[in-house]
Structure formats: C-alpha cells, structure tokens
Amino acid sequence: MLLADGSRVFCSRNERSDLFIATLCGLGATGLILDIQLQVEPAFRLREVQESIPFDEFMQRYDELVFSAQHVRFWWYPASDTVRCSYLDRSKEPRNPAENWWRNWLFGHHVTQFFMFIARYFLFLNTWISHWICWLISARTIGVDDSHIIFNVDCRYPQHTTEWAVPYRNSQACLREIRAWLEEESADPDGIRPHVPVEIRYSAADDIWLSPSNGQPTCWIGIMQYKPYGFNVPYRRYFGGYETIVARHQGRPHWAKAHQLRPDALRKLYPFFDDFIKVIQDVDPNGMFRNEYIQRHLFGMPVSGRTFKSRPA
C-alpha cells in the first residue's frame, strides 16, 4: 500500500492487521492499494433452478428457502404478491443455459422498457407492468452455466437504486413491514407505484470493521426506480419510506449507494467504527484521501448543500 506520507507498507492479518482489516472495506480512505494477493479456486459451473411462489409462502418457508441451496437470491414483485426464487448449486453437468431470447430480451427487456416509459406519464401502469413481468417469468426453469455468467446479474436499465443490509434475524419482520407499507400506498389513489422488483440476497457474517455484515449474517434488501431510455422518474418518496423502515430494523446502508447517515448513527451500527477512524487518523493525519463522502459520513463535516437537496417525489 502507498500511504499518505509516501511510504509503502505491507499488511495482512498477521502484519499491520489493523490497517489490513480497515482497508478490506476502507472506502479509499486508508491509502492506495498497489499490489494484492488473492486466494482463488478452480472455475466451476452452477445449476440454477428458478420458480415463482406467493409472498406468503415465501414468508412461511423463509428459513427453509434461504438455506435450501449453496447460493440463493430472490426478486419480490409486491404489486403481484409474487417472489421469484433462484437456487444455485455447484454442478459438473454440461452447459445448458436457460436463456430465452424472446422472453428475456425482446419482451422482458425492450417491450418492458417501452411500457415503463409510458408509465412515466400514467403511474398506475406500473402495477400492470408488475403483473406483466410476473407472467413472463412464471415458468419454472433449470439451467447450467459457468459461475461468472450466472452470478453476473443484468441490471437492465439506468436506475436510481438503494440497498440496505438488515440483520438476518430481523429480515422477515422488515420484509413484512415493507409489504404492509406498500399495500397502504397501493390503496391510496395518490400513493407510490414503484418499479419492480425488490431484490433480496444474503451474506455470511464477517469480521471486517466497516462491512455491513460485520458480526452478523445479513439480508440485503435493494430497491430501484428504472430510468427508461435514460429519462428520469420519481423516486424520493419511495426511497424515503423504504429507508425509514430498514433503519428501524437496524439496517446498514450499502456503502456504494447514497444515504444520509452521519458518524453518530454509524457509530451505533458499527462496533469498530472508532477503531476504523483511528486507523485513518494514524495513516492519513492531514486527510489527503478524505473526499466529500468520507468527510460527510465518517467525520460529520459540512459539505456541498446540494448532496441531499430536498425535492418533491
């Protein structure tokens, strides 16, 4: 690593371990990583089974489904009360992708984007679009492909997005509360009609100081508002309501997404927050690597007032 004073240092779990642990999720604030040694393994394939189930069944079988495969991920369509489930296990079977160009690209991508563009002017259509997508993907599918292809999820369109990491023990209650809130919005003629899906995924506990999974198994809950053909869409009310709920369940925001937490709030969520700050102050006392994000969220210093400018929708 290259530190702020120009010195080069080596760190690992056994040598300068504090700097190492801090840098594993360091937000660029500890120094420049010049060289890295990674532990790798032989490439492998994954067998993916996808199916759609009702949200209530997802909740009833929650623990069973989450631990039913080596890797799982879920996409929830609140307006349709449907969850698309993906179960991934390593496989030595020959490649047999489940890709369907007509379903996934012509209708699932291009036609759906056109519908979302129209829904910019008629928000109620977003509910219909949710049903349309659920119908497109309703069939149970099985495919085998290289891991890097299956793990690489297509984000489809430009989007506004936010994602928080909720302790696994709180995740069911959090998802139920989000559902109740969205049902209230759906019943309100002027309520939010968000895009879909809500993405749900999981990670194991770790010991990295600023990792959202530090000390606890984690459920990641992500939402988005797509920007069809690059045109903007309302998102602030949706994101604000969502963030209020996940914060009540001890959620930790994704570091790569916009959020409004400052040092006092982060200190309550991260037991080693002050240890991280101490490392930064030791290796970069003059703040060479502290950008506005670091100054704002980790040190609580005022920066540009436009960062979270309040605007309707």
- What is the DSSP secondary-structure string of 99-155? --HIIIIIIIIIIHHHHHHHHTT-TTHHHHHHHHHHHHT-S-EEEEEEHHHHHS---
Q: Which domains does the chain possess?
A: 17-39+270-297 (no CATH), 45-253 (3.40.462.10)
Q: What is the pLDDT of residue 156?
A: 84
In the three-class reduction of DSSP (H, G, I as helix; E, B as strand; rest coil), residue 2 is classed as: strand
d(CA 66, CA 56) in angstroms, rounded, equals: 15
pLDDT score at 53? 98
Asked if the model's pLDDT at residue 307 lies above 80, the reply is no
Q: Which amino acid is at 12?
A: S
pTM for the structure as a whole = 0.92
Q: Where are the alpha helices (DSSP H) in the chain?
A: 17-24, 55-60, 62-66, 101, 112-119, 125-136, 147-151, 168-187, 236-248, 263-269, 273-283, 292-297
Burial of 283 (0-12, 13-18, 19+ CB in 10 A): buried
pLDDT per residue as tens digits for the range 132-144 = 999 999 999 999 9
Residue-wise pLDDT tens digits, 42-75:
999 999 999 999 999 999 999 999 999 999 999 9
Q: Three-state SS for 85? A: strand
**Residue at 255: amino acid letter:** W
- Say if residue 313's pLDDT is above 80: no
**How many alpha carbons fall within 13 Å on the CB side of residue 256?**
3
Judged against a pLDDT cut of 90, whether residue 256 lies above it is answered with: yes
User: Is the Cβ–Cβ distance between 30 and 283 less than 8 Å?
Assistant: yes
Instruction: Tell me the C-alpha distance between 96 and 107, whole Å.
Output: 22
Q: What is the mean pLDDT of residues 12-38?
A: 97
Task: Look up residue 112 and give its two tokens.
Answer: 């759906």
3-state SS assignment for residue 279: helix
Tens-digit pLDDT profile for residues 181-222? 999 999 999 999 999 999 999 999 999 999 999 999 999 999
Rounded mean pLDDT of 20-36?
97
